[in-house]
Amino acid sequence: MKRRTQTLLVGAVPIVALAGVLSAPALSVPFAAQGPGPLFDVLSDVEGKSIIEVSGPSVDSKPSTGELDMTTVAVHHNLSLPQTIAMWLDSDNEIVPIEAVFPPGQSQEEVEEENKAAFTESEANATSAALAQLGLPTEVSVAYTVPGSNAEGKLHEGDVIISIDGIKATKPDAVKDHVQSLNPGDAVELKVRGEDAAKERTVAIELGENPHAKGAALLGIGMSTQSAGQTKVEYQLSGIGGPSAGLMLTLGVIDKLSPGDLTEGHHIAGTGTINAAGIVGEIGGIKHKISAARDSGAELFFVPAGNCVEALTADAGDMKLVRVRNVDDALAAIKNPGAAPSCS
């Protein structure tokens, strides 16, 4: 039986198993290869669907003339020894222990599930940061419930969480921070609004234990952020996980909900986590992402400030590496690329 390598597309950490490539009959070795992954222009379509779909009175119907590329890292695993050697000889790839892809004690399915949750949180934070930048109010909705959790059957996809234990929930962090302050077995009371916006209900849930963090409380839901008004933001990109798309998704939402062309015709790539306040956080695989963006012809690459030292070891070619700490830094760099601070 032939064995195939498997490829993951990652933002900051290994995420979702995709197609197998490079067949070989030998047993796999305990290593993986990391290299540049594909880029996705968040202002474009994938398989006929907009990566970011917006609707409502604030939508700018005029398409942008530039690009906002989110970058990924491709991780090949289940490699045979000859395949590992071949990838090691390719300067674009880096060979790492398999534990860097699947930490000890975690199955591939658990890693995929964990990083799916991270991407959902990244989308929620991108919406929060973008709407806050535009001065639009937000609310928290249930994206999914964790199978087998105490929330399953009590909360449903699309439910709006108004408050938790009397704490107003306008952003997922309000719910997350409160749950993290409690212990498994504690009970929380949520005020929730379902499909009928005129009806509210109270839901009591006993917190479980996070399977990935012993002693940490688990509510058992994934959360997203939406406008408290008529504006709606939805993300259509699948097969990617992890938190590092946050910054570029935020910029994409801002472009689609503000007048004019945010990109001003520039080809921009970048990476970075985002929180609800618009702060950009560091990620992994920065050198591979820079290589992919350089080869695509990007003019600017947004680098989280915490990644600048490592970014300077990559071959960026003529592409400018712009240091960003928050959304405001990125917006200022787009408006005036020449004055934008470089990694140094």
Q: Is 232 a catalytic residue?
A: no
Angstrom CA distances, 230 to 56, 60, 118, 169, 223, stand at 5, 14, 26, 18, 19
Closest listed residue to residue 192, CA positions, set 141, 153, 228, 127: 141
Residue that the structure tokens 């906002």 belong to: 68
Angstrom CA distances, 338 to 295, 298, 321, 332, stand at 21, 15, 11, 10
Chain centroid to CA 258 = 22
Q: Is 227 a catalytic residue?
A: no
Does domain 3-118+232-339 match CATH 3.40.50? no
Span 212-250, pLDDT tens digits: 888 999 999 999 888 888 888 999 887 787 889 999 999
- Position 14 scores a pLDDT of 36
Span 55-69, pLDDT tens digits: 888 788 788 899 999
> What are the boundaries of each domain within the chain?
3-118+232-339, 137-227
Catalytic residue among 28, 128, 224, 244: 244
CATH superfamily, domain at 137-227:
PDZ domain (2.30.42.10)
Angstrom CA distances, 250 to 273, 281, 308, stand at 10, 13, 21
pTM tops 0.85: no
pLDDT: which is higher, 252 or 16: 252
pLDDT band, residue 12 (cuts 50/70/90): very low
Axis crossing angle, helix 327-335 with helix 246-256, rounded to the nearest 10: 60
Indicate the range of 110-119, 319-328, 331-340 predicted with least confidence.
110-119
Q: Residue 172 phi/psi, 5° resolution?
A: -55, -30
Catalytic residue among 116, 256, 287, 289: 289
In a 13 Å sphere around the CA of 110, the CA atoms on its Cβ side amount to 10
Closest listed residue to residue 5, CA positions, set 112, 80, 71, 90: 80
